[in-house]
Structure 1
Amino acid sequence: MDCKENESPESRETSRVVVEFLEVAITSIIFLKGIYPPGAFERRRYMNLLVHRARHPQLNRYILNSVNALEPYIQQGLVERIAVIFFKDDKIPVERFMFKINVNQSCYDGEMMDMEMRLFLVKLSLSEPFSKNAAVLSQSKKSDWRWEITGYFCSLPEAEVGAWISSNTYQWKQPPVITPIKSMNIQPLSLQLYLEHPPPEL
Structure 2
Amino acid sequence: MHQQRTRVIDKNKGHTVVKCIENRRYVQVWIHQVLYHRGLYPKDVFELRKQYNVPVHMSIHPEVCQYIKHFVDTLQPVLEKNQCQLVSLVILSNTTQQPLERYVLAFDHQQQQQQQQQQQEEGDLYHDFRACLLKLNALPCFLSPPVLDCTFTLGVELNDSDDLPFLHNTEQVWIPGNVDQTTNATTWTQFVPIKTMHISPFKINMYVMEAKGKGKQIERH
Residue 96 of structure 1 pairs with residue 102 of structure 2? yes
Q: Which residue of 2 aligns with 1:3?
A: none
Match of 2:29 among 21, 24, 27: 24
How far apart in 2 are the matches of 1:18 and 1:95?
22
Q: 1:179 Cα shift? A: 1.3
Residue-by-residue CA offset, 1:14-72 (whole Å, 9 max, x unaligned): 10000001101111001100121111111112122211211011101111111111111
How far apart in 2 are the matches of 1:38 and 1:96?
21
How far apart in 2 are the matches of 1:146 and 1:35?
7
Unaligned 5+ runs, structure 2: 1-10, 216-221
Residue 152 of structure 1 pairs with residue 164 of structure 2? no
Unaligned 5+ runs, structure 1: 1-5
What amino acid maps onto 1:125 in structure 2? N
Q: 1:95 Cα shift? A: 0.9
How far apart in 2 are the matches of 1:58 and 1:130?
30
How far apart in 2 are the matches of 1:155 and 1:166?
15
How far apart in 2 are the matches of 1:25 and 1:190?
17
Match of 1:167 among 174, 177, 181: 177
How far apart in 2 are the matches of 1:158 and 1:25?
25
Q: Which residue of 2 aligns with 1:125?
A: 137
Given the superposition, is the C-alpha separation of residues 111 and 175 from structure 1 closer, same or farther in structure 2, using an over 3 Å criterion? same
Fraction of identical pairs, as percent: 20
Residue 192 of structure 1 pairs with residue 205 of structure 2? yes
Residue-by-residue CA offset, 1:111-144 (whole Å, 9 max, x unaligned): 111011101101111124565133xx14xxx2xx
* Alignment check: 8 A CA contact 2:84 2:158 kept: yes
Structure 1 vs Structure 2 CA RMSD: 2.5
Q: Which residue of 1 aligns with 2:4?
A: none
Secondary structure of the corresponding residue to residue 9 of structure 1: helix
Judge which range, 86-95 or 122-131, deviates more. 122-131
